[in-house]
């Protein structure tokens, strides 16, 4: 490194030592000014190099000479590299949160005390109580302490996570590189060491073989450690002999319980009374029964019992998805390395996984992601949606002989036909349009959906539903004929007729869907000033297309706060569209739009986007309507039990609403054909407060790939098989049981369980819940 790059800060001024606080402020100020290479001349100041958080993620390198005080690099952040050109005092890396600390010499007591992240490299020996009370958050890499020499007494006391490497080179105590009473209270982590020792707390730690993976990690990181110290020559042959290395790891709670322990009675007799006489200090004054009282209840006497509720609740993402796609299940498959299956799974729920999930959907699943409750970025389902263009068709079952007619080849109609064929029934689709796809084909702007994506998915639909008859205009007679020829009939004609504003000049209004349909076929002329009555998502699409056609001043009006949201609203704002509400339009003139108060809004072109209603003239009289839409029950069955209706012909909504309605209607029809009563999913959404987001990384803003998405999914209501419940149970009452079908479940031994609730409190996915235990009859 060029010395000129270093900015020097001295810990002495006018021959007088600067206070630790002042030196820290000067370091912080230099970093805030953009200094990234600092040369610090220390004079015993404490806490040097800690808390350098405001760097925008840029790395900061501190090189320190002179005597260093306590707590070097305390609360250090991940982008900080601290290098000390000599020894350091006590508590180096105290509460380290990610800094890399290199010490070219010995370290005092408490090295790495309570550190949670980062690395500490010591080029000599360390004092007592190093690596004590460390912790490891699974969201991040474990903390690491590397010592070239040996460690002092009480090393690893109450160590709860992390990795320690003790090389034993030129050890301070060559006969005992681990010091006196190491690893007392250890509950997590590993210690790799080289050299002799005089024992460790066998009730808390155990010797384990060094696996090939461990040795590979150790070999690779030994080189990095020695490079930082400038002593790579020690790797071969001094530190590279695998047979000289040993490993200690924390015992699991189950192992602790199975180890024989001296009970209170045995301790009293064998130790207490043996030393002090029968009865102890007051044995000559009083005789009492000192048998332990059973204050901790088990079995039927527990007040609360844990219940494993895997899959009994809907994840918030799945519950919010109108199509009902089990998003968390798809991310589970990604975590297991079965990404192809995760992609294919979407076809069981929608014929448009790439078109809709990848591009058009506002992603209600992401808006309801549990991560949002902790202000964390939701997992990006759009990535998986776009990948679904490569989804493989499922194997279709043989036809049952049952036939269902579907009127309408839009998202709702194709969805119901798709689902019926997946369940073994033949669906025949009729539509008046020249191409299948409904509004996706006719009016969705090209900037929202690449043409080749929908074209490819439509071809896949044709392979599953070969009988799609286009340019078919049906009247009441044709409807009655279809009723006679098919087992069931589904109406999915959408809503194509624009609502009419009964105001003077209403004939000047251009319907939104007409305009969007024409823009897909070619350039449409619009004026420089455009007013759009109706500021929903369709109105936003009109705004974007109008801007593309040359409009410069675009204003959207609404009688209430606009219902637009998501990508459509963002795109409209991006092209400069303005929103105004609440306003009431009184008249449309050649000059523009006149509001109720008389204000004139100049406009060359005025669009109306206040919704559409279906064409229902072809329906027989026994199909009941309500406000111009078909009335249906919870299974989308109309007043005629042979006729179902789905999509915008029932109620205006999102494309996903139409697809979801098609799936539910198809299931109801399939149930009826099988002689079953239709049923809905009885599961409720899992309460978000049951999910533990502490296990996941809150710093992620953009996801790099599908694997990262899968890892960050909280898997709400669905077990991740992490084993945390079994590991934490203080009574070893929880165990995993493999099932014959390849599945598993975690079961509770009621004779061991004390109802403490540790399992429910620690479960990342909210699977465990505590329920009140009815008191036993006595």
Which three-class secondary structure state does DSSP give residue 763?
coil
pLDDT in tens, 252-284: 877 877 666 666 677 777 777 777 777 666 666
Nearest-Å Rg of the Cα atoms of the chain is 35
Expressed in percent and rounded to 5, the helix, strand and coil fractions of the chain are 30, 20, 50
Q: Which pLDDT score, from 0 to 100, does residue 265 have?
A: 74
Secondary element (H or E) of residue 306: strand 304-308
In this structure, the number of other CB atoms found within 10 A of the CB of residue 165 comes to 22
- In terms of domains, do 486 and 621 share one? yes
Among 565, 592, 610, give the residue marking a domain's end. 610
Our CA angle for 136, 380, 332, nearest 5°, is 60
- In terms of domains, do 218 and 170 share one? yes
In this structure, the number of other CB atoms found within 10 A of the CB of residue 740 comes to 5
The total number of residues shown for the chain amounts to 778
Domain containing 651 — which CATH number?
3.50.50.60
- In terms of domains, do 541 and 580 share one? yes
Distance separating alpha carbons of residues 331 and 536, to the nearest angstrom: 32
- In a domain, residue 634? The reply is yes
Query: Block means of pLDDT (10 residues each) for the chain, length 778 residues?
Result: 82 94 94 93 95 84 96 94 96 96 97 96 97 91 97 96 97 95 95 96 94 96 97 93 96 76 73 72 61 71 92 94 94 94 94 92 92 92 90 92 96 96 96 91 87 92 94 91 95 90 91 91 87 94 93 94 88 94 93 92 94 91 92 95 96 93 96 92 92 89 92 94 91 92 92 92 95 77
- In terms of domains, do 114 and 225 share one? yes
Distance separating alpha carbons of residues 25 and 17, to the nearest angstrom: 15
Domain containing 208 — which CATH number?
2.160.20.60
- In terms of domains, do 324 and 372 share one? yes
- In a domain, residue 62? The reply is no
Instruction: Classify each residue of 437-458 as buried b or exposed e, where b means 16 or more C-beta atoms within 10 Å of its C-beta.
Output: bbbbbbbbbeeebbeebbeebb
- In terms of domains, do 148 and 236 share one? yes
Q: Which pLDDT score, from 0 to 100, does residue 26 have?
A: 95
- In terms of domains, do 229 and 161 share one? yes
Instruction: Classify each residue of 388-419 as buried b or exposed e, where b means 16 or more C-beta atoms within 10 Å of its C-beta.
Output: bbebeeeeeeeeeebbbbbbbbbbbbbbbbbb
- In a domain, residue 3? The reply is no
- In a domain, residue 678? The reply is no
* Pairing, β 600-602 against β 592-595: antiparallel
Q: Which pLDDT score, from 0 to 100, does residue 166 have?
A: 98
Distance separating alpha carbons of residues 117 and 125, to the nearest angstrom: 21
Q: Which pLDDT score, from 0 to 100, does residue 330 have?
A: 95
Report how far Cα 481 is from the mean position of its chain's Cα atoms.
51
Q: Which pLDDT score, from 0 to 100, does residue 528 have?
A: 93
Say if CB 190 and CB 248 are below 8 A apart: yes
Domain containing 724 — which CATH number?
3.30.70.20
In this structure, the number of other CB atoms found within 10 A of the CB of residue 677 comes to 8
In this structure, the number of other CB atoms found within 10 A of the CB of residue 64 comes to 26
Q: Which two tokens stand for residue 676?
A: 């079953």
Structural domain boundaries, residue 705 = 316-392+687-712
Report how far Cα 758 is from the mean position of its chain's Cα atoms.
23
**Which residues touch 423 (CB under 8 Å, ≥6 apart)?**
397, 666, 667, 670
- In terms of domains, do 413 and 448 share one? yes
Among 590, 610, 630, give the residue marking a domain's end. 610
The number of distinct structural domains making up the chain is: 6
- In a domain, residue 125? The reply is yes
Distance separating alpha carbons of residues 616 and 756, to the nearest angstrom: 62
- In terms of domains, do 438 and 490 share one? yes
pTM for the full predicted model: 0.69
Secondary element (H or E) of residue 248: strand 245-250
- In terms of domains, do 234 and 109 share one? yes
- In a domain, residue 274? The reply is yes
- In terms of domains, do 239 and 111 share one? yes
Cα–Cα nearest to 752, from 250, 257, 264, 291: 257
Checking 335-343 for CB contacts under 8 A at 24+ apart, the result is 335/707, 335/710, 335/711, 335/713, 335/720, 339/387, 339/706, 340/392, 342/384, 342/706, 343/384, 343/387, 343/388, 343/390, 343/391
Q: Which two tokens stand for residue 567?
A: 């990508």
Distance separating alpha carbons of residues 391 and 64, to the nearest angstrom: 57
Instruction: Classify each residue of 482-516 as buried b or exposed e, where b means 16 or more C-beta atoms within 10 Å of its C-beta.
Output: bbeebbbbbbbbbbbebeeeebebeebbbbbbebb
- In a domain, residue 81? The reply is no
- In a domain, residue 74? The reply is no
Q: Which pLDDT score, from 0 to 100, does residue 294 have?
A: 60
Cα–Cα nearest to 536, from 561, 507, 511, 508: 561
Secondary element (H or E) of residue 625: strand 625-626
- In terms of domains, do 384 and 422 share one? no
Beta bridge partners of 745: 737
Distance separating alpha carbons of residues 168 and 151, to the nearest angstrom: 9
**Which residues touch 127 (CB under 8 Å, ≥6 apart)?**
90, 107, 108, 109, 110, 111, 152
Q: Which two tokens stand for residue 747?
A: 């079961």
* Pairing, β 144-147 against β 117-122: parallel
């Amino acid at each position: 490194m060029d010395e000129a790059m270093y900015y020097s800060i001295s810990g002495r001024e006018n021959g007088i030592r600067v206070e630790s606080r002042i030196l820290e402020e000067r370091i912080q100020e230099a970093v805030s000014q953009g200094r990234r290479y600092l040369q610090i001349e220390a004079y015993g100041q404490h806490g040097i190099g800690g808390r350098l958080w405001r760097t925008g993620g840029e790395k900061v390198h501190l090189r320190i000479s002179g005597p260093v005080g306590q707590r070097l690099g305390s609360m250090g952040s991940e982008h900080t590299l601290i290098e000390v050109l000599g020894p350091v005092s006590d508590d180096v890396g105290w509460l380290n949160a990610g800094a890399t600390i290199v010490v070219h010499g010995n370290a005092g007591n408490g090295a790495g005390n309570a550190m949670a992240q980062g690395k500490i490299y010591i080029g000599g020996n360390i004092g007592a109580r190093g690596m004590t009370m460390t912790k490891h958050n699974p969201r991040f890499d474990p903390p690491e302490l590397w010592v070239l020499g040996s460690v002092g007494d009480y090393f690893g006391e109450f160590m709860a996570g992390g990795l320690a490497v003790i090389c034993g080179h030129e050890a301070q105590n060559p006969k005992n590189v681990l010091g006196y009473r190491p690893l007392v209270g250890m509950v997590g982590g590993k210690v790799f060491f080289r050299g002799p020792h005089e024992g460790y707390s066998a009730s808390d730690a155990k010797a384990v073989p060094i696996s090939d993976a461990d040795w590979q990690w150790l070999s690779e990181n030994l080189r990095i450690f020695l490079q930082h110290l400038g002593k790579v020559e020690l790797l071969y042959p001094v530190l590279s002999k695998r047979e000289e290395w040993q490993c200690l790891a924390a015992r699991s709670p189950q192992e602790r319980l199975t180890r024989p322990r001296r009970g209170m009675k045995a301790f009293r007799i064998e130790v207490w009374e043996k030393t002090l006489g029968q009865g102890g200090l007051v044995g000559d004054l009083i005789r009492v029964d000192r048998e332990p009282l059973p204050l901790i209840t088990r079995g039927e006497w527990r007040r609360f019992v844990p219940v494993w509720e895997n899959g009994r609740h809907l994840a918030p993402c799945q519950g919010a998805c109108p199509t009902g796609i089990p998003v968390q299940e798809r991310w589970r498959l990604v975590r297991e390395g079965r990404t192809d299956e995760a992609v294919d799974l979407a076809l069981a729920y929608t014929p448009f996984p790439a078109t809709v999930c990848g591009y058009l959907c506002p992603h209600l699943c992401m808006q309801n992601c549990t991560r949002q409750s902790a202000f964390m970025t939701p997992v990006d389902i759009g990535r998986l949606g776009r990948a679904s263009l490569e989804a493989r068709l499922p194997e279709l079952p043989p036809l049952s002989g049952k036939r269902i007619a579907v009127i309408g080849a839009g998202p709702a109609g194709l969805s119901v036909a798709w689902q019926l064929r997946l369940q073994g029934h033949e669906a025949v689709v009729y539509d008046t349009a020249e191409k299948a796809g409904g509004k996706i084909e006719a009016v969705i702007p090209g900037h929202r959906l690449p043409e080749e994506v929908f074209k490819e998915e439509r071809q896949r639909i044709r392979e599953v539903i070969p009988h799609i008859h286009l340019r078919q205009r049906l009247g009441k007679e044709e409807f009655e004929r279809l009723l006679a020829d098919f087992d069931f009939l589904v109406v999915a004609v959408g809503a194509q007729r624009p609502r009419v504003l009964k105001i003077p000049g209403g004939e000047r209004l251009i319907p939104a869907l007409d305009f969007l349909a024409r823009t897909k076929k070619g350039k449409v002329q619009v004026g420089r000033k455009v007013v759009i009555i109706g500021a929903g998502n369709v109105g936003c699409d009109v705004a974007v297309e109008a801007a593309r056609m040359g409009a410069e001043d675009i204003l959207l009006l609404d009688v209430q706060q606009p219902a637009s949201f998501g990508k459509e609203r963002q795109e409209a704002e991006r092209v400069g569209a303005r929103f105004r509400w609440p306003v009431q339009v009184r008249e449309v003139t050649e000059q523009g739009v006149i509001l109720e108060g008389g204000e004139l809004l100049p406009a060359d072109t005025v669009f109306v986007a206040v919704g559409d209603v279906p064409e229902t003239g072809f329906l027989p009289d026994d199909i009941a309507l309500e406000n111009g839409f078909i009335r249906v029950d919870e299974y989308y069955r109309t007043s005629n039990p042979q006729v179902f209706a789905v999509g915008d012909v029932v109620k205006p909504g999102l494309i996903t609403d139409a697809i979801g309605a098609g799936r539910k209607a198809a299931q109801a029809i399939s149930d009826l054909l099988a002689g079953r009563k239709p049923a809905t999913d009885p599961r409720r959404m899992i309460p978000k407060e049951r999910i533990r987001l502490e296990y996941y990384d809150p710093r992620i803003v953009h996801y790099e790939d599908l694997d990262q998405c899968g890892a960050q999914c909280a898997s709400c209501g669905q077990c991740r098989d992490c084993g945390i419940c079994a590991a934490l149970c203080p009574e070893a009452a929880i165990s995993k049981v493999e099932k014959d079908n390849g599945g598993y479940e975690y079961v509770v031994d009621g004779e061991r369980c004390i109802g403490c609730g540790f399992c429910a409190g620690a479960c990342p996915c909210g699977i465990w819940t505590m329920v009140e235990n009815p008191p036993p009859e006595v």
